[in-house]
C-alpha cells in the first residue's frame, strides 16, 4: 500500500471496507478494512489501512466523518473491461444463434448493420447498449460500430456523455458479395476512416478514443488493409479486428491471401499487429502465430460465449498465457448473447473446463485468474493498464461497489462468508442488482442521473 507524502489534488471521497483487485504478480489480492481516497481529478490518491484513518485525514485534508463505510457484504472491485463488443448488433442480442459464423454474418449481421445509416435508429440502439453495459459493470468497452461514419461518431458521443471509457471503431470493409449494399470501395473506406478519426479526435473526449477497425481479413482487400495499417501508424491509434474464429473462416483466408503464411501473417504483413492491437477469438492460432503476437505486443480478446453460440471453437487460454500474449475477455455481442461481462467470466471458466474434460492434463483456469482477465487483463489487452485495471495510487478510479446481499438480488447467503467467497459468489451468481454503484475516472456513472426538465 503506497501513500504519497503530499496530495496534489483535493480529496473528493473516501471509502473504507473491503477492496479486491489483481496485480501482475497476484491473481487476487484482498484488502480488508482498507481506506481508499479518490481525488477531484478522479485518480486514486491513497490506499491505506483502516487504522491509519486519523493520520491519512490529516495528510490529505479530508474529514473522517465523511468517509463512506462499506457494509459487511459489500466490496469494491475494479471495473470490468469488455475488449470486444459489436454495439450495432445489440438490437438482436439473444437471438439468431442457429448458424455458423460466415452464414450468420450474411443472414443476420450485415442486414441489421446496414440500418445504421439511420441516425435515429443508431441513437436508440447505441444509447441502450452503453447504458446496459454500464449497468452491468463494464467501465471500459472496445466497440465495433458499423461502416457508417456519422453513426460511429454518435456512439463515441453517447459513450462520452454517459461516462464510459470507450474505444470506438468505424468498421471498414470493401468485400461483401452477399449483402452488396453493405460495403465500401477502397477510396471511400480510406476517406471516411480519416474523417471519422479527425472528427472524433477534435471532440477531445477525456475517455473515448477512435480505433482503426478492419472488420476481418475476409471482408478487406490487401490494399485496404495496407492503407488502414498506415492510418493507424500515422495517428498512433489502437487497432481491432477478428482472427481465426472458426475453421471455415481460416480456410477462406488461405484462399483469399495465398501468398501469406498464416492468418496472422496477413495482418502482420500490413502492419496491423502492434502493441495497441486487439484481435478477437484466435481459437485456431498456431504456436508460431502466438509467438508473433508476443513479439509485436498484440493482444487477444477471448469471447467464449460467442465461440460456443456459433459453434466456432474453444480457445486454450492457458496456452495463450504461457506464450506471454496479452489477453482480455469480450462479450462479442451479438454472437455472444449477453452484454454482461459476468457472463463472459462464467463462459471463460466453462471453456477452460471443457478443455480439461477433453484432456485431464490441461489445468483449468481458477476463478481468481479469470477475475484478473476480466479486469487488469482487459486493461492490459487494450494498452490502458497505465490508467486503469486495478487499484494503484495514480490510476483512474474505475470501480464497482458490489453488495452480494442486495435486497431482491440473486444471491442467498446462508453462512458467514469471507470476502474471497463473496467475490466468487458474485462472479458465479451475481447480476446488475448486486452492483450498487459504478465509477469511471472517479465519476459515479451508475445509478444514472437523468437530465431534469427545465
Q: Render pLDDT for 215-245 as a digit per residue (tens, 0 to 9).
A: 999 999 999 999 999 999 999 999 999 999 9
What pLDDT shows up at residue 177? Answer: 83
pLDDT exceeds 50 at position 187: yes
Rounded average pLDDT over 44-61: 98
Q: At what angle do helices 341-358 and 419-429 cross, to 10 degrees?
A: 90
Domain with CATH 2.30.40.10 in the chain: 11-77+393-446
5 confidence band (pLDDT: 50, 70, 90): low
DSSP-derived secondary structure letter, 360: T
pTM above 0.85, yes or no: yes
C-alpha cell at 123: 441513437
pLDDT digits (tens, 9 = 90+) for 403-415: 999 999 999 999 8
pLDDT exceeds 60 at position 174: yes
C-alpha cell at 192: 471516411
Q: Which residues contact 223 (CB under 8 A, 6 or more apart)?
A: 186
pLDDT digits (tens, 9 = 90+) for 288-343: 999 999 999 999 999 999 999 999 999 999 999 999 999 999 999 999 999 999 99
Q: How far apart are CA 436 and CA 93, in angstroms?
A: 25
Q: What is the distance, to the nearest Å, from the Cα of residue 437 to the centroid of all Cα atoms in its chain?
A: 19
Nearest to 341 by CA among 368, 316, 365, 375: 375
Q: How far apart are CA 72 and CA 417, in angstroms?
A: 10
What pLDDT shows up at residue 451? Answer: 60
Q: How far apart are CA 301 and CA 280, in angstroms?
A: 4
Domain with CATH 3.20.20.140 in the chain: 80-382
Q: How far apart are CA 371 and CA 424, in angstroms?
A: 9
C-beta of residue 238 within 8 angstroms of C-beta of residue 167 = yes
- Supply φ then ψ for residue 129, to 5 degrees: -70, -40
Q: How far apart are CA 45 and CA 133, in angstroms?
A: 27
Nearest to 427 by CA among 372, 345, 351, 352: 345
Q: Write out the CATH class of domain 11-77+393-446.
A: mainly beta
Rounded average pLDDT over 79-87: 99
Q: How far apart are CA 299 and CA 380, in angstroms?
A: 8
Please tell us whether the domain made up of 80-382 is placed in CATH 3.20.20.140: yes
pLDDT digits (tens, 9 = 90+) for 264-302: 999 999 999 999 999 999 999 999 999 999 999 999 999
**CA dist 348 to 106, 342, 371, Å?**
27, 10, 10
What pLDDT shows up at residue 4? Answer: 47
Please tell me the total number of residues recorded for the chain in this structure: 454
Q: What is the CA radius of gyration of the chain?
A: 22
Strands 44-49 and 29-39: antiparallel
6 confidence band (pLDDT: 50, 70, 90): low
Mean pLDDT of the chain: 96
Nearest to 439 by CA among 118, 275, 268, 207: 207
DSSP-derived secondary structure letter, 282: -
Q: How far apart are CA 395 and CA 79, in angstroms?
A: 12
Dihedral of CA atoms 303, 307, 308, 314 in degrees, nearest 10, equals -90
pLDDT exceeds 90 at position 180: no
C-alpha cell at 60: 490529505
178 confidence band (pLDDT: 50, 70, 90): confident
In three state form, how does the secondary structure of 376-405 look? HHHHHHCCCCCCCCCCCCCCECCEEEEECC
Amino acid at each position: 500500500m503506497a501513500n504519497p507524502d503530499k496530495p496534489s489534488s483535493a480529496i473528493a471521497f473516501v471509502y473504507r471496507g473491503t477492496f479486491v483487485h489483481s496485480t501482475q504478480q497476484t491473481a487476487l489480492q484482498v484488502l480488508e478494512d482498507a481506506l481508499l481516497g479518490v481525488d477531484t481529478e478522479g485518480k486514486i490518491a491513497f490506499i491505506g489501512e483502516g487504522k491509519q484513518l486519523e493520520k491519512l485525514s490529516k495528510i490529505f485534508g479530508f474529514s473522517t466523518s465523511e468517509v463512506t463505510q462499506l457494509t459487511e457484504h459489500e466490496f469494491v472491485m475494479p471495473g470490468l473491461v469488455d475488449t470486444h463488443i459489436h454495439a450495432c448488433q445489440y438490437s438482436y442480442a439473444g437471438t439468431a444463434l442457429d448458424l455458423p459464423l460466415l452464414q450468420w454474418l450474411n443472414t443476420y449481421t450485415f442486414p441489421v448493420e446496414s440500418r445504421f445509416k439511420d441516425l435515429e435508429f443508431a441513437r436508440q440502439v447505441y444509447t441502450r447498449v452503453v447504458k446496459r453495459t454500464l449497468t452491468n459493470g463494464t467501465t471500459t468497452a472496445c466497440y465495433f460500430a458499423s461502416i457508417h461514419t456519422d453513426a460511429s461518431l454518435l456512439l463515441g458521443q453517447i459513450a462520452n456523455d454517459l461516462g464510459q471509457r470507450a474505444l470506438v471503431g468505424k468498421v471498414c470493409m470493401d468485400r461483401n458479395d452477399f449483402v452488396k449494399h453493405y460495403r465500401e470501395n477502397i477510396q471511400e473506406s480510406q476517406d471516411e476512416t480519416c474523417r471519422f478519426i479527425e472528427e472524433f479526435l477534435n471532440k477531445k473526449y477525456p475517455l473515448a478514443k477512435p480505433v482503426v477497425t478492419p472488420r476481418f481479413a475476409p471482408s478487406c482487400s490487401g490494399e485496404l488493409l495496407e492503407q488502414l495499417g498506415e492510418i493507424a501508424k500515422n495517428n498512433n491509434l489502437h487497432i481491432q479486428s477478428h482472427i481465426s474464429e472458426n475453421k471455415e473462416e481460416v480456410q477462406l483466408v488461405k484462399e483469399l491471401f495465398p501468398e501469406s503464411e498464416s492468418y496472422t501473417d496477413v495482418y502482420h504483413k500490413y502492419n496491423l499487429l502492434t502493441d495497441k492491437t486487439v484481435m478477437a477469438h484466435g481459437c485456431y492460432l498456431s504456436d508460431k502465430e502466438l509467438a508473433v503476437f508476443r513479439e509485436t505486443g498484440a493482444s487477444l480478446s477471448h469471447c467464449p460465449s460467442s465461440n460456443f453460440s456459433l459453434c466456432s471453437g474453444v480457445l486454450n487460454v492457458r496456452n495463450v498465457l504461457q506464450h506471454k500474449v496479452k489477453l482480455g475477455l469480450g462479450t462479442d455481442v451479438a454472437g455472444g448473447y449477453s452484454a454482461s461481462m459476468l457472463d463472459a467470466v462464467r463462459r471463460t471458466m466453462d471453456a477452460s473446463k471443457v478443455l480439461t474434460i477433453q484432456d485431464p492434463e490441461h489445468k483449468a483456469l481458477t476463478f481468481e485468474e479469470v477475475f484478473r482477465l476480466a479486469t487488469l487483463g482487459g486493461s492490459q489487452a487494450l494498452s490502458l493498464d497505465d490508467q486503469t485495471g486495478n487499484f494503484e495510487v495514480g490510476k483512474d478510479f474505475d470501480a464497482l461497489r458490489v453488495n452480494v446481499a442486495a435486497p431482491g438480488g440473486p444471491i442467498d447467503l446462508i453462512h458467514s462468508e469471507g470476502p474471497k467467497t463473496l467475490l466468487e459468489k458474485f462472479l458465479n451468481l451475481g447480476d446488475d442488482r448486486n452492483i450498487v454503484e459504478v465509477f469511471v475516472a472517479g465519476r459515479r456513472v451508475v445509478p444514472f442521473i437523468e437530465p431534469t426538465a427545465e
